[in-house]
Structure 1
Amino acid sequence: MWGSEGRPRGSWPVTLRTGTDPEVTLRPLRASDVGAWRDARRRNTDWLLPWDATPPPGAPSRPVTFRALVRSLDRAARRGTTLPFALDVDRRFAGQVTVNNIVRGSAQFASIGYWIDRRYAGRGVIPRAVAMAVDHCFTRVGLHRIEIAIRPENSNSLRVVEKLGLYEVGYAPRFLHIDGEWRDHRIFALTKEEVPLGLLRRLEDGLRDRPA
């Protein structure tokens, strides 16, 4: 069933959770996350800065407070153009997963970006969180194709799409403004037909099939 805004009812707000160890939860970003968000960003400045999106010269300024950021993202979510998830690991704030640039019409497309607190890296959290978001997009949101754009130097993110089995579909010179400059990106994509049982199911089946 579709709402008056042209998006499926129930697609936002929503909370998604796995029963794995560690427990991974995607939920709406809240104003009450301000303390944990600031602490994570402060501790991870050097870890995140090379991959952070930045506004190019002449672009509109971003919200100047965390509360304004949350309000802006919530408005976009209710318009059906963005799904701004907070990422929790074992009920503790650990980062963000954001479904951006949702396009309807004949495209039914979106892109996904993410960041994680370094203390939770290497535990399989981001692949699971991205798979959860993709499955939600393919089922409740009604999208057909998801893309992830990654800088060629970002080996951690490249391992994420490798684990998820996304195909590389292109190379985009000067694609996004990252860390103060227009940066090249490798483009990876997945369509709904490729994961009839869901991306999370495919990921978990692949993990079980790996040699001990």
Structure 2
Amino acid sequence: MPFETRLADDVTLRELAKDDAVAVAHAYARNREHLEPWDPARPEEFFTEQWHKDRLWVQVLANTNGSALHTVLESADGEVVGRLNLTDIVRGAFENGHVGYWIDARYTGRGLMTAALLALADHARDELGLHRLQAATLPHNVASQAVLGRAGFEKIGYAPSYLKIAGSWQDHVVFQRILHD
């Protein structure tokens, strides 16, 4: 059964579906300026429906084979208003996954991403059997760091030149949440 949970009266967190390409494209296009400082440089085609139609199936397949859990935050009227992805799931002695997320500019400050991260952590522990989640933020992204803190993540380090964001290699603060005591 696909992962789904209500975060608020008007927002649900649910597993990405193959039919979400158009809504995802519209969400990225609508939030282009809002996300630009925090995202990798995107080609112009990224903001088109066709780009997402051509590529979204790979994320749905990753959900199916257990290598990731790609989700969307969806408003009551069916609009995608955010993404929360658990990727790079490693099994065996590690039982770890990397978390990445964003929320629509119109929905910030409502605690939705904190609630989404808490729900994902429970699902990752109880249903996926993971032991640990990891996330990283730009040092100046204090809002994202606050979200991680409220969701039970702790700062564990600093990674120089960790990811290429907004066109340049940037340092990140690294966080983890241990799911089992």
The answer for the alignment partner of 2:73 in structure 1 is: 87
Q: 1:104-148 CA deviation, whole Å, 9 max, x = no partner?
A: 110000110011111111111111111111111111111000011
Q: Which amino acid aligns with 2:54?
A: A
The answer for the alignment partner of 1:16 in structure 2 is: 4
Query: Is the Cα–Cα contact under 8 Å of residues 24 and 128 in structure 1 kept in the other structure?
Result: no
SS of residue paired to 1:190? strand
Query: Is the Cα–Cα contact under 8 Å of residues 25 and 89 in structure 1 kept in the other structure?
Result: no
Larger Rg: 1
TM-score (norm 1): 0.74
The answer for the alignment partner of 2:15 in structure 1 is: 27
- Asked if 1:108 is matched to 2:100, the reply is no
SS of residue paired to 2:140? coil
- Asked if 1:134 is matched to 2:121, the reply is yes
Change (3 A) 1:146 1:35: same
Runs of 4 or more, structure 1, over 6 Å off, are none
Distance in 2 between residues matched to 1:19 and 1:146, nearest whole Å: 20
Report the CA distance between 1:76 and its aligned residue: 2.0
Distance in 2 between residues matched to 1:175 and 1:19, nearest whole Å: 31
Q: 1:177-209 CA deviation, whole Å, 9 max, x = no partner?
A: 212121111011111235xxxxxxxxxxxxxxx
Deviates more, 1:89-98 or 1:157-166: 89-98
Query: Is the Cα–Cα contact under 8 Å of residues 26 and 129 in structure 1 kept in the other structure?
Result: no
Gaps of 5+ in 1: 1-9, 56-63, 195-212
Distance in 1 between residues matched to 2:26 and 2:65, nearest whole Å: 30
Distance in 2 between residues matched to 1:187 and 1:19, nearest whole Å: 26
Distance in 1 between residues matched to 2:169 and 2:8, nearest whole Å: 38
Q: 1:70-111 CA deviation, whole Å, 9 max, x = no partner?
A: 111122222321111111133532111110110011000011
Report the CA distance between 1:24 and its aligned residue: 2.8
Q: 1:30-59 CA deviation, whole Å, 9 max, x = no partner?
A: 3x333332322222111101111358xxxx
The answer for the alignment partner of 1:40 in structure 2 is: 27
Structure in which a larger fraction of residues adopt strand: 2
Change (3 A) 1:28 1:38: closer
The answer for the alignment partner of 1:198 in structure 2 is: none
SS of residue paired to 1:112? strand
- Identity percentage of aligned residues: 31
The answer for the alignment partner of 1:67 in structure 2 is: 53
